[in-house]
Amino acid sequence: MILSILLMVGLYIWFPSITDAEGNTVISKDEVLVMVLLLGSILLGIISILNFKKRQHQFVLNRLNIILNFVLLGVFVYRTLKVSGETLVSEKGIGMLLPVISIVFLVLANKAIKRDEDLVKSVDRLR
């Protein structure tokens, strides 16, 4: 979860403004939608880490964070594909892939949370 948060903070700090061939801004981190999705993902990750004693709540928050990252990825893809003409591939950079990497880390975190929850339940059965 920490890696996911670091990826989203890095995306927020170093996210370039993607422009098309005519100089129009396609995606910028200053847009309200992109900023809300990025900050929401960061905030959900921090809240999820702080809820380490409530594993089920943490699991649900991670799922919400995965959905937020999918929406962010959808916004990136939609805005990039709706542009008439081309945008340079080098301008896009890795910023378009960071939500995918973040989703992978969140899925791995959810697997670990589920494994911990199963372990606690099995120990409770022995008592």
**pLDDT value for 75:** 87
Closest CA to 83 of 12, 11, 14, 22: 22
**pLDDT value for 28:** 74
Tell me the H-state helices in the chain. 2-14, 32-50, 55-81, 89-92, 98-126
**pLDDT value for 90:** 47
Q: What is the 3-state secondary structure (H, E, C) of 99-115?
A: HHHHHHHHHHHHHHHHH
The model's pLDDT over 25-75, given as tens digits with 9 standing for 90+, comes to 667 777 888 889 989 999 999 999 999 889 999 999 999 999 999 999 998
**pLDDT value for 113:** 92
Asked whether residue 106 carries a pLDDT value surpassing 60, the answer given is yes
Asked whether residue 19 carries a pLDDT value surpassing 80, the answer given is no
Output the pTM of the full model: 0.82
> Phi/psi at 21 (nearest 5 deg)?
-65, -25
Show the CA angle centred on residue 69, arms to residues 68 and 73, nearest 5°: 120
Q: What is the 3-state secondary structure (H, E, C) of 39-53?
A: HHHHHHHHHHHHCCC
Q: Within its chain, how far is the Cα of 86 from the centroid?
A: 26
